[in-house]
Amino acid sequence: MNDKDMVYVVDDDEAVRDSLAWLLEGAGYRVQAFDSAESFLDRFDANRVSVLVLDIRMPGMTGLELQEVLTQRGALVPIIFITGHGDVPMAVQAMKLGAADFLEKPFNETILRELVAKMMEIARVRRDDAVARAQNEALVAKLTQRERQVLERIMAGRLNKQIADDLSISIKTVEAHRASIMTKLDVNTVAELMRVVLSK
- For residues 58 and 149, what is the distance between their CA atoms, to the nearest angstrom? 52
Give strand pairing partners of 7.
31, 51
pLDDT > 90: what percent of the chain?
59
| 8 A C-beta contact, residue 1 and residue 25 | no
- For residues 62 and 37, what is the distance between their CA atoms, to the nearest angstrom? 7
- For residues 115 and 122, what is the distance between their CA atoms, to the nearest angstrom? 11
Sheet of strand 30-34: strand arrangement: 30-34, 6-10, 50-55, 79-83, 101-104
Give strand pairing partners of 81.
54, 102
Q: Cβ atoms within 10 A of the Cβ of 145, count? A: 6
Residues 80 and 54 in one domain: yes
Distances (CA, A) of 14 to 83, 98, 111, 196: 15, 27, 21, 47
Q: What is the tally of structural domains in the chain?
A: 2
Q: Is residue 115 part of a domain?
A: yes
What band does 95 get if pLDDT is binned at 50, 70 and 90? confident
pLDDT, tens digit (0-9, with 9 covering 90-100), for 99-128: 778 888 888 889 999 999 999 999 999 888
Give the global pTM.
Answer: 0.72
Predicted confidence (pLDDT) at residue 135 exceeds the cutoff of 80: yes
Residues 151 and 120 in one domain: no
Task: Identify the domain boundary among 130, 155, 175.
Answer: 130
Residues 91 and 39 in one domain: yes
Range of the domain at 13: 6-130
What band does 50 get if pLDDT is binned at 50, 70 and 90? very high
Give strand pairing partners of 79.
52
Residues 169 and 121 in one domain: no
pLDDT value for 9: 96
